[in-house]
Structure 1
Amino acid sequence: MDAGVSECHEEDPADNELFQGETQKLIQPASLKDPKLEMLKEALVCWINSTLKPEHIVVQHLEEDLYDGLVLHHLLSLLAGVHVSVEEIALASAAQIRKLEVILKELERKLGLNESRIKWNVKLIHNKDILATIHLLVAMVRCFQPELPLPPNVKVEVVNVEVSRSGITSAVQTEVLTEERDGGSESLSSDEREDPIDQLLKQEAHKVNAVKQAILQFVNRNLSCMGLQVFDMDKQFADGVILLLLIGQLEGFFIPLHDFSLTPVNSNEMLHNVSLALNLLGDMGLQVYRVDAQDIVSRDAAATFKVLYALFRKHK
Structure 2
Amino acid sequence: MEADIFEYHKEENPVDIEAFQGGKQKLIQPTSLKDPKLEKLKEALVYWINSTLKQEHIVVQTLEEDLYDGLVLHHLLSRLAGVKLSVEEMALTATAQIRKLEVVLEELDKRLGLQDSSQIKWNVKLIHNKDLLATIHLLVSMVRSFQPDLDLPPNVKVEVVVVEVNKTGIKSDVQTEFLTEARDAGPDSLGNTEREDAIEELLKLEPHKVNTVKKAMLHFVNQNMSTMGLQVADMEKQFADGVILLLLIGQLEGFFIPLHDFNLTPVNPSEMLHNVTLALDLLNDTGLQVSSVDPQDIVSQDVGATLKILYALFKKHKGK
Q: Report if TM-score (shorter chain) is over 0.5.
A: yes
Q: Cα offset for 1:253? A: 2.0
Match of 1:158?
A: 160
Alignment RMSD: 4.2
Gaps of 5+ in 2: 9-14, 196-213, 264-269, 295-302
Contact 2:37 2:156 in 1 (8 A): yes
Q: Is the deviation greater in 53-62 or in 305-314?
A: 305-314
| Contact 2:242–2:272 (8 Å) recurs in 1 | no
- Give the counterpart of 2:149 among 147, 150, 167: 147
Q: Deviations over 1:53-72 (max 9, x none)?
A: 11111112211111111111
- SS class of match (1:170): strand
Task: State percent identity of aligned pairs.
Answer: 60
Secondary structure of 2:224's counterpart equals helix
For 2:118 and 2:282, the matched residues in 1 are separated by 35
Alignment of 1:1-316 (within 5 A): 8=1, 10-15=2-7, 19-113=20-114, 114-180=116-182, 183-185=183-185, 192=189, 217=219, 219-224=221-226, 225=228, 227-229=230-232, 244-250=246-252, 251-254=254-257, 256-257=261-262, 276=281, 278-282=283-287, 293-294=291-292, 307-314=313-320
Instruction: In structure 2, give the amino acid aligned to 1:310.
Output: K
Mapped to 2, the partners of 1:159 and 1:237 lie a distance apart of: 45
* 1:105–1:257 distance in 2 versus 1, CA, 3 Å: farther
CA deviation after TM superposition for structure 1 residue 115, in Å: 3.5
Partners of 1:38 and 1:228 lie apart in 2 by 36
Q: Separation in 2 of the partners of 1:240 and 1:170?
A: 52
Structure whose alpha-carbon radius of gyration is higher: 2
Q: Would you say the 8 A contact 1:215–1:312 is kept in 2?
A: no
Q: CA deviation at 1:30?
A: 1.5
Give the AA of the match of 1:39: K
Q: Distance in 2 between matches of 1:69 and 1:116?
A: 22
Q: Per-residue CA shift, 1:44-89, capped at 9, x if unaligned?
A: 1111111111111111221111111111111100011011101111
Seen in structure 2, the aligned counterparts of structure 1 residues 65 and 121 have a Cα distance that, compared at 3 Å, is same
TM-score normalised to the size of structure 2? Answer: 0.69
Question: Structure 1: which amino acid aligns with 2:34?
Answer: K
Give the drift of 1:128.
0.7
| Residue type at the aligned position of 1:52 | L
Asked if the contact 1:149–1:292 (Cα under 8 Å) also holds between the matched residues in 2, the reply is: no
User: 8 Å contact 2:136–2:179 — kept in the other structure?
Assistant: yes
Rounded Cα–Cα distance in structure 1 between residues aligned with 2:242 and 2:171: 48
Alpha carbons of structure 1 residues 218 and 42: separation in structure 2 relative to 1, 3 Å? closer
Cα 1:232–1:93, aligned 2, differ >3 Å: closer, same or farther?
A: closer
AA aligned to 1:13 is: I
Aligned residues of 1:20 and 1:163 also touching (Cα < 8 A): yes
State whether residues 159 and 175 of structure 2, in contact with CA within 8 Å, keep that contact through their aligned partners in structure 1. Answer: yes
Count of equivalent residues:
274
* Contact 2:63–2:132 (Cα < 8 Å) also in 1: yes
Q: Which ranges in structure 1 are unaligned for 5 or more consecutive residues?
A: 1-7, 199-211, 283-287
Alpha carbons of structure 1 residues 119 and 275: separation in structure 2 relative to 1, 3 Å: farther
